[in-house]
Amino acid sequence: MLNALGLGEETAKSLGLPLEALKLLLLGAASLLTASAVAQAGIIGFVGLVTPHLLRRLLGEDYRLLLPASALGGGALLALADLLARTLARPAELPVGVVTTLLGGPFFLYLMWRRRGRA
Amino acid sequence: MGGLEARGIVGPFALKGVDLLLRPGEWLALLGPNGSGKTTLLRVMAGLLRPRRGEVLLEERPLRAYGSYERGRLLAYLPQNGPYPEGLLVEEVVRLGRLPHLGLWGREGGEDREAVDWALEVTGASAFRGRLLGTLSGGERQRVLLARALAGRPRYLLLDEPTTFLDLAHQGVVVGLLRRLAGMGLGVLSVLHDPNQAALAHRVAVLEGGRVVAEGGPEAVLQEPLLARLYGAGVRVVRLGERPHVYLDP
């Protein structure tokens, strides 16, 4: 059903999807998941922004694959960032948010540049 | 079967009292200048917009009385130039057309797979079923989106300018397909810009200022005085055999 939203809201509605309820449900679920992750780990930027975009380029747009892959990929990216944060400036430890920003910032700029190029 | 019927549709936007009947097994082309209300009427008849006054009847029952999935099984709608998921495989895109039959949690069965195969076959899109939608040409993509609309095995197909941005060869493919689909018993309603494509339809309805000002067979409707009024004095109509042919002589 998430894939159907890729055809545009009008087409999704013409296929019978209860669009408004669906949007509310997805927004609510995303908010709750984000809130619980932040409550556990604190604010670590760019993980949620970079991972799905990166994986979409690798795996395509099928949300049945992309959603679980993003969850796994986000965890893996964070584990890698944590490893780098603990080892790069040994014996000191960098805040993990600095590493994710270093990884995610350039990628985000690349995405923005690509989008502008397409427009 | 009563067909898909618009009765006294007033509003939204440009529509000022439209009556129109689409019968099963016919291709009805909707012509008219920009801003005459063609797309709005199509969206009202697809149940995507609610009219201020009047009613749409689907097989003699008000369209708003249908559940959304039930409506989706009977009516398929293809917007002009809508977004499309570039990163999905063609087959996955076409399978989305089965949603009205499956709902949110339904599991796909043999009938669903057959319908997808049929839709790919009839639109000539089988050859690229394993490719990503974003890698296809405009003409190929339009055939896939049409296959998506057909995969639900609808009784009525509503299309908004299905030939825009296509080269002549692909326009011919799509137009030929619409005729064939009507021949299979579907009611096909398409908004068109090109009167020469409309000339190939079974019937033509012309919208002007939110009203149907002419309706009937192409040879009766596509007459020089009407077209000159709609599109300007330079429009000429000649007959090629039975069929009217429209060209510009500015």
* pLDDT for the residue B249: 83
Residue B217 burial by CB count (10 A; 0-12/13-18/19+): exposed, middle or buried?
A: middle
Q: Is B66 on the interface with A (CB under 8 A)?
A: no
CA B61 to chain CA centroid, Å, is 21
A62·B73 Cβ contact <8 A: no
* pLDDT for the residue A103: 86
- CATH number of the structural domain B4-248: 3.40.50.300
d(CA B19, CA B55): 9
Closest CA to B191 of B16, B20, B17: B20
Please say if the pLDDT value at position A119 is more than 70. no
Q: For B83, which of A3, A7, A13 is closest by C-beta distance?
A: A7
> Which stretches of chain A are DSSP H helices?
2-5, 9-14, 19-41, 47-59, 63-87, 96-118
Report DSSP state, residue B199. Answer: T
- Report yes or no: B31 and B12 within 8 Å, Cβ to Cβ: no
* pLDDT for the residue B71: 96
Closest CA to B119 of B201, B184, B66: B184
* pLDDT for the residue A13: 93
Q: Which residues of A touch B78 (CB under 8 A)?
A: 11
d(CA A53, CA A31): 19
Strand partners, B188: B27, B157
Radius of gyration of chain A (CA): 17
d(CA B88, CA B207): 37
Query: Sheet harboring B61-62: ordered strands across?
Result: B16-22, B4-10, B53-58, B61-62
Domain locations in chain B?
Answer: 4-248
Q: For B100, which of A8, A16, A62 is closest by C-beta distance?
A: A16
Q: In residues, how long is chain B?
A: 250
B73·A16 Cβ contact <8 A: yes
Mutate to test the interface with B, among A11, A13, A59 (most CBs of B within 10 A): A11
Q: For B82, which of A3, A8, A17 is closest by C-beta distance?
A: A8
- Report yes or no: B9 and B51 within 8 Å, Cβ to Cβ: yes
Q: Is A4 on the interface with B (CB under 8 A)?
A: yes
d(CA B190, CA B177): 12
A8·B86 Cβ contact <8 A: no
**Per-residue three-class SS string for B110-166:** HHHHHHHHHHHHHCCCHHHCCCEHHHCCHHHHHHHHHHHHHCCCCCEEEEECCCCCC
Q: Is A11 on the interface with B (CB under 8 A)?
A: yes
pLDDT in 10s for each residue of chain B, 250 residues: 589 999 999 978 889 999 999 999 999 999 999 989 999 999 999 999 999 999 999 999 999 999 999 999 999 999 998 888 888 999 999 999 999 999 777 788 999 999 999 999 999 999 999 999 999 998 899 999 999 999 999 999 999 999 988 888 888 989 999 999 999 999 999 999 999 999 999 999 999 999 999 999 999 999 989 999 988 878 888 888 888 989 888 7
* pLDDT for the residue B106: 77
Q: pLDDT by residue (tens digit) across A6-29?
A: 899 999 999 999 889 999 999 999
Residue in the block written with tokens 């042919």: B245
Q: Is B84 on the interface with A (CB under 8 A)?
A: yes
d(CA B195, CA B245): 8
Q: pLDDT by residue (tens digit) across A41-84?
A: 888 888 888 899 889 888 888 888 999 999 999 999 999 999 99
B196–chain A nearest CA distance, Å: 28
* pLDDT for the residue B76: 97
ipTM, two decimals: 0.86
